[in-house]
């Protein structure tokens, strides 16, 4: 896919990947083998009919193509851009090496069995760019005014969705298609969750997020911003007005290392840094009112997508040097390959097998130096990666003006804290069954608040499964009511 | 959109507004705050709730014009609207019958201190209030404070009203004279630090309301992190009220100076659009520097 030139793109916040035009899309689609039992579909957390929409592209039936995707995925413009395709659909494409490092052991074994049976000659070839094709269709639909079909019939039943990130947006699309009336409550002043405040515009333009949300509004979904569930209203109060509540409040609480000097000025959580830019548009200060301060030398701690986003954003804010500090090796970075490559092209420096141990500030409380220790790969740990072990005596100091801590997020505690009767897991996540049912009657949850920090598409998958379960729950209750077995709400103990 | 119903200028730089926000008004308690954003492109700032009327569906906010956003807010009139307002935020503090409570308010902090005094009075506490400001024209809500307090002390730095000096002077007298169960201090960081120090000498706990820089106000960024009892806490969800004896006020002071340069740039631009009046930074802002 064509990309913006690195030297130019670090001067703007425009999208890096430029997308396929029609001919490029068709020729990429022609590479698909149209496997009769497609592995790619199994790799997609929401089970999109991938060979189906690719066949439509091949035959230039673009509208049919997007409709095939919409049957399973309400946010293709987003997923086509931010899904870790190499670990999902593309990782299982028959044309790929077929053995992604993201797969579970069981998954790898399945792929190996498949490849050894199928006698494929293509196994070293590049997979079909499924994500880019999905994105192409979504953008085509937007450019040509193609809209998802409106729901057929209106059903009785009101559902409240808490949070407006990918899990809730997917659930909203599904529930509204099923005919229910849906209200989404968002704490911030704009909907989208991590799509709005987390993922930068150079990866996911905000117009794309606006577009997807507008489409949901056209389907009848009502968005209410500035409502902090847990404070403005509680989940219990929502249950008085709604037949079911879905909690998709995400994993928005930043993790800290707890090392000396972490509260010095110039040290940001990645959440704060990215929110200032993506949600508040601090890069346009003083045209906008939210400030951000970035020094000449910026160090970002971590190796995930959030770390890449932060390090690349720092460059665009004018940092002369942007350095990633990561305690493991590059092949162990959880960030998407594509984004690691993009970061490198843009000049982000990688300091690998290095971990900060304290920050040193000046008399005004600003960070000036970070003290690090070198690590070496030790024994393989539970995640299947070599555990980093500090090398004694290898401490060294590095001058920095700004530090961004991107070592992961925990589930937001506000709702678990203010909702009695919710069973919680070890990290404060809400425990649910496969279909998103919580321990509290009528309350469902999904996405990062249930799973801990994961991916956009996994959150969407959870949102869709929960939406279907919510539909069944509401219908069951209606039946019970007409059977005369209806139990009044206040006798439920939750 | 959140409509301003009433507006009153309490001093040169301090403005009181009543804003329509029925959901917030039905929940808010003394000690909580709201995040507001005036318009597209505006920043989110925290403002302490200084009163609420669930029947009218309004909350009262008293703020000081110290920078661009508060100046812009001060220009709004009844009938105008604030684009975004979320709340009530922050952990509700313990409100009960303690016995004798000293409510200390400094500057614009007198307004939330008055709200607290009212609530605690209704709960059966004996209220001794101490309010202070730089000079008499900055001292707000004196009559209202007098009404809810069993005893009221007034101080000004320059002696233009009440006792000359700081709020800690009468506080020391009160604490030596009688049994006090709790001190509540709301105001500038230096004042809350001094009050907590004096109260601690007498073995009395001080509840302080911290005012760090906030961004979302819901616990997702850590911009407002403060050090309490040696641990990092987020003022927006763990606070903003903490035990003053445990707070690292010096660290808070340094952290609140993070954006001074940017704040000045923003302020100058705001002033540029204004007529010649009020050129240069406000007094409060200069003090912050």
pLDDT for B156-178, tens place per residue? 999 999 999 999 999 999 999 99
Residue A246 burial (C-beta neighbours within 10 Å; 0-12, 13-18, 19+) = buried
**In contact, B96 and B53? CB cutoff 8 Å:** no
Q: Which residue of A has its CA nearest to B83?
A: A189
Nearest to B227 among A252, A263, A412 (CB): A263
Whether residue A494 has pLDDT greater than 70: no
Q: Which residue of B has its CA nearest to A363?
A: B254
Q: Hey, is the C-beta of A270 within 8 angstroms of any chain B C-beta?
A: no
The answer for B 202-261 residues in CB contact with A (under 8 A) is: 215-216, 218-223, 225, 227, 232, 237, 251, 254-255, 257-259, 261
| Choice between B149 and A74, residue whose per-residue pLDDT is larger | B149
Query: Which one, of A316, A284, A318, A366, lies nearest residue B260 by Cα?
Result: A366
- Whether residue B259 and residue A263 make contact (CB cut-off 8 A), yes or no, is no
Contact residues, chain B, for A188 at CB < 8 Å: 86, 216, 218
Query: Which one, of A35, A32, A47, A212, lies nearest residue A133 by Cα?
Result: A32
Q: What is the pLDDT of residue A478?
A: 87
Per-residue CA distances from B4 to A289, B1, B80, B107 (Å): 22, 10, 6, 23
Contact residues, chain B, for A414 at CB < 8 Å: 218-219, 237
Nearest to A263 among B232, B262, B263 (CB): B232
Whether residue A101 has pLDDT greater than 50: no
Q: What are phi and psi of A194, to 5 degrees?
A: -65, -25
Q: What is the pLDDT of residue A301?
A: 98
pLDDT mean across residues, chain B: 92
Give the separation between CA A321 and CA A11, rounded to whole angstroms: 14
Secondary structure class of A358 (helix, strand, coil): strand
**In contact, B36 and B47? CB cutoff 8 Å:** yes
Q: What is the pLDDT of residue A292?
A: 94
| Choice between A183 and A75, residue whose per-residue pLDDT is larger | A183
Q: What ipTM does this complex have?
A: 0.91
**In contact, B213 and B223? CB cutoff 8 Å:** yes
Query: How does pLDDT run across A184-232, given as a tens digit for each residue?
Result: 999 999 999 999 999 999 999 999 999 999 989 988 999 999 999 999 9
Say which range, A110-124, A249-263, B248-262, has the weakest mean pLDDT: A110-124
**What's the token pair of residue A424?**
């919680």
Give the separation between CA B133 and CA B156, rounded to whole angstroms: 5
Query: Which one, of A269, A272, A262, A276, lies nearest residue A302 by Cα?
Result: A269
Give the separation between CA A26 and CA A31, rounded to whole angstroms: 9
Q: Confidence class of residue A6 from pLDDT cuts 50, 70 and 90? A: very high
Query: How does pLDDT run across A381-439, given as a tens digit for each residue?
Result: 877 788 899 999 999 999 999 999 999 999 988 899 899 999 999 999 999 999 999 99
**In contact, A371 and A217? CB cutoff 8 Å:** no
**What's the token pair of residue A322?**
């942007």
Q: What is the pLDDT of residue A122?
A: 43
Nearest to A414 among B37, B43, B219 (CB): B219
Which residue in the block uniquely carries the two structure tokens 């040290």?
A: A267
pTM across the whole model: 0.90
Whether residue A54 has pLDDT greater than 90: yes
Query: How does pLDDT run across B4-58, given as a tens digit for each residue?
Result: 999 999 999 999 999 999 999 999 999 999 999 999 999 999 999 999 999 999 9
Say which range, A122-126, A170-174, A239-243, B175-179, has the weakest mean pLDDT: A122-126
- Show Cβ contacts of residue A177 under 8 Å, excluding neighbours closer than 6 positions: A148, A151, A219
Q: Which residue of B has its CA nearest to A227?
A: B86
Q: What is the pLDDT of residue A311?
A: 98
Whether residue B281 has pLDDT greater than 80: no
Residue A390 burial (C-beta neighbours within 10 Å; 0-12, 13-18, 19+) = middle
Whether residue A153 has pLDDT greater than 80: no
Give the separation between CA A478 and CA B58, rounded to whole angstroms: 39
Q: For the residues A360-374, what does the mean pLDDT come to? A: 96
Say which range, A116-130, A246-260, A480-494, B219-233, has the weakest mean pLDDT: A480-494
Q: Hey, is the C-beta of A255 within 8 angstroms of any chain B C-beta?
A: no
Beta strands in A137-276 (DSSP E): 158-162, 181-185, 222-224, 244-247, 253-254, 267-269
Secondary structure class of A185 (helix, strand, coil): strand
**What's the token pair of residue A75?**
């946010």
Q: For the residues B207-229, what does the mean pLDDT come to? A: 95
**What's the token pair of residue B247?**
């707070």
């Amino acid at each position: 896919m064509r990309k913006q030139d690195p030297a130019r793109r670090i001067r703007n916040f425009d999208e890096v990947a430029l997308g396929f035009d029609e001919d490029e899309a068709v020729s990429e689609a022609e590479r698909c083998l149209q496997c009769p039992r497609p592995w790619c579909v199994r790799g997609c957390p929401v089970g999109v009919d991938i060979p189906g929409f690719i066949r439509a592209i091949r035959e230039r039936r673009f509208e049919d193509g997007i409709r095939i995707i919409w049957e399973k995925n309400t946010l293709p413009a987003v997923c086509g851009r931010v899904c870790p395709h190499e670990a999902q659909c593309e990782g299982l494409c028959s044309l790929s090496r077929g053995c992604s490092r993201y797969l579970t052991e069981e998954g790898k074994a399945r792929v190996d069995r498949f490849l050894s049976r199928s006698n494929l000659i293509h196994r070293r070839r590049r997979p079909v760019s499924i994500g880019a094709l999905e994105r192409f269709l979504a953008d085509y639909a937007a450019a040509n005014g193609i809209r998802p079909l409106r729901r057929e019939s209106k059903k009785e039943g009101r559902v409240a969705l808490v949070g407006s990130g990918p899990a809730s947006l997917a659930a909203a699309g599904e529930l509204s298609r099923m005919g229910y009336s849906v209200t989404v409550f968002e704490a911030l002043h704009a909907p989208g969750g991590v799509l709005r405040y987390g993922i930068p515009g150079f990866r996911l333009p905000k117009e794309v997020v606006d577009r997807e949300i507008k489409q949901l509004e056209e389907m009848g979904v009502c968005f209410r911003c500035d409502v902090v569930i847990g404070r403005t209203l509680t989940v219990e109060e929502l249950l008085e007005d709604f037949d079911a509540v879905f909690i998709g409040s995400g994993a928005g609480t930043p993790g800290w290392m707890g090392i000396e000097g972490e509260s010095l000025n110039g040290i940001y959580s990645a959440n704060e840094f990215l929110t200032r830019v993506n949600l508040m548009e601090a890069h346009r200060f003083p045209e906008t009112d939210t400030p951000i301060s970035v020094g000449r030398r910026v160090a970002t701690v971590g190796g995930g997508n959030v770390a890449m986003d932060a390090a690349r954003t720092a460059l665009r804010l004018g940092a002369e040097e942007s350095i990633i500090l990561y305690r493991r090796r590059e092949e162990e970075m959880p960030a998407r390959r594509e984004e690691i490559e993009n970061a490198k092209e843009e000049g982000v420096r990688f300091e690998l097998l290095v971990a900060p141990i304290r920050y040193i500030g000046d008399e005004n409380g600003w960070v000036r130096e970070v003290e690090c220790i070198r690590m070496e790969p030790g024994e393989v740990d539970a995640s299947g990666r070599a555990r980093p072990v500090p090398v004694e005596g290898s401490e060294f100091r590095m001058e920095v003006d700004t530090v961004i801590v991107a070592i992961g997020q925990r589930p937001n505690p506000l709702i678990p804290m203010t909702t009695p009767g919710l069973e919680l897991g070890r990290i404060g996540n809400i425990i649910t069954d496969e279909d998103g049912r919580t321990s509290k009657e009528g309350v469902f949850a999904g996405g990062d608040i249930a799973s801990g920090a994961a991916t956009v598409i996994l959150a969407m998958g959870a949102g869709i499964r929960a939406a279907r379960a919510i539909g069944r729950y509401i219908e069951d209750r209606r039946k019970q009511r007409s059977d005369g077995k209806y139990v009044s709400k206040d006798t439920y103990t939750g | 959109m959140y409509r301003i119903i009433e507006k009153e200028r309490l001093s040169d730089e301090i403005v009181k507004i009543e804003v329509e926000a029925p959901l917030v008004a039905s929940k808010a308690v003394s000690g909580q705050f709201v995040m507001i954003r005036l318009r597209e492109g505006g920043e989110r700032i925290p403002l302490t709730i200084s009163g609420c009327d669930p029947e009218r569906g309004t909350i009262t906010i008293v703020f000081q014009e110290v920078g661009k956003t508060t100046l812009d807010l001060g220009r709004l009139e009844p009938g105008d609207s604030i684009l975004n307002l979320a709340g009530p935020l922050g952990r509700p503090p313990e409100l009960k019958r303690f016995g004798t409570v000293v409510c200390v308010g400094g500057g614009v902090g007198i307004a939330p201190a008055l709200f607290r005094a009212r609530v605690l009075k209704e709960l059966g506490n004996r209220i001794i209030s101490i309010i202070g400001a730089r000079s008499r024209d900055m001292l707000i809500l004196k009559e209202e404070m007098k009404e809810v307090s069993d005893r009221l002390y007034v101080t000004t730095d320059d002696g233009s009203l009440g006792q000359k000096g700081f709020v800690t002077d009468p506080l020391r007298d009160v604490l030596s004279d009688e049994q006090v169960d709790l001190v509540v201090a709301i105001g500038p960081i230096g004042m809350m630090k001094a009050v907590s120090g004096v109260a601690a000498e007498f073995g009395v706990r001080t509840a302080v309301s911290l005012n760090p820089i906030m961004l979302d106000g819901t616990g997702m960024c850590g911009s407002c992190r403060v050090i309490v009892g040696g641990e990092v806490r987020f003022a927006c969800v763990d606070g903003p009220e903490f035990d003053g004896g445990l707070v690292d006020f010096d660290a808070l002071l340094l952290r609140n100076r993070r954006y001074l340069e940017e704040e000045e740039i923003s302020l100058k631009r705001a002033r540029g659009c204004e007529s010649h009046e009020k050129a240069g930074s406000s007094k409060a802002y200069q003090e912050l520097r």
